[in-house]
Structure 1
């Protein structure tokens, strides 16, 4: 979900991406050594439904600050394209700061590459981010990357979905200002399924 990169401009960075963050349109392997693409079109099925959401957001990422703001609310996830896409409505607020976040996530699956493209929109600006995070699920963990500008410098952005069960899941957004050597979490969201 570009869920949580509402602080970012979405501009493309000028430096080269590391291997883990190569864009989906990077040159493919030759057919002789190309492994078959795993069908990941159902990877987000476990989070379809209505959830109680708790969010911790780092107030000033990449500044050395450890000041977090806590939010609570809901996440409603639905299938589109018979599961080859999903979308979320994410609504949380922080009584402590009077801050509210109304977000929308669109995830689209590319069957040729086996990767997901995840776009985020914030109601504050009313548009999808220009650039998605891109990645896939392996061994029960979804990792998705892109490169953007934050406070005038090129950084990497990583989304990780983990600890997915029938009743809960965890999402963490992190930034790296050193080319992916270290990562600073700045958005930690846990969801618990609302009983129907």
Structure 2
């Protein structure tokens, strides 16, 4: 059994137990921003729940990824990857799994993400693991407003406390954009270190 298969089994077990996570309170650095999209996304949690926020993404996508190798060091060395992302819904849409495989100048990359919806807070937690690390990173917590998703958490990088921001934007039925940024000054400035642009593979909508 290879690494990806082991990850998939672990993730499915997590999702089967997600009833606990889906009903538990979520903590996060919730912030909002406006954006534009041709997808009809919820404008506020009060209008309807957000359990369908990721419905636009189910299916298979071509992924073009650029990643900053050494964030917050003054480095400007970026690496590029191209690959495929597959997004599947589980728990009747209250959770979903993303499988990413890509190749580039820095080698082969495999990543998995489990997104869990909290119906009490109307927020999502995004839980990411790479095959190299073998464990989940700190989840980012947030929500969609006006067709734009923003998710935040606090982590440490090289012994320093930082803020992490993950943004999903430019959402259309056949394309979307993902951006991760770090801040080491309390959110005054942000350095982008991960940009992914997905284009739906024709005939692969779920």
> Is TM > 0.5 for Structure 1 vs Structure 2?
yes
> What is the CA deviation profile of residues 77-100 of structure 1, one whole-angstrom value per residue up to 9, with x for unaligned ones?
000111111110011111x33x11
Q: What is the correspondence of 1:17-166 to structure 2 with a 5 Å cutoff?
A: 24-25=26-27, 36=46, 38-94=48-104, 96-97=105-106, 99-129=107-137, 131-166=138-173
Q: Which has the higher helix share?
A: 2
Tell me which stretches of 4 or more aligned residues in structure 1 moved more than 3 Å.
Answer: 35-38
Q: Secondary structure at the match of 2:202?
A: coil
- Partners in 1 of 2:72 and 2:99 — Cα distance? 27
Contact (CA 8 Å) 2:26, 2:141: kept in 1 or not? Answer: yes
Q: CA deviation at 1:125?
A: 2.7
Q: Partner of 2:196 in structure 1?
A: 189
Contact (CA 8 Å) 1:37, 1:114: kept in 2 or not? Answer: no
Q: Partner of 1:8 in structure 2?
A: none
Contact (CA 8 Å) 1:37, 1:113: kept in 2 or not? Answer: no
Unmatched 5+ stretches in structure 1 = 1-22, 27-34
Contact (CA 8 Å) 1:37, 1:112: kept in 2 or not? Answer: no
Unmatched 5+ stretches in structure 2 = 1-24, 29-44
The alignment's C-alpha RMSD in Å is 1.6
How many residue pairs were aligned?
163
Q: CA deviation at 1:36?
A: 4.0
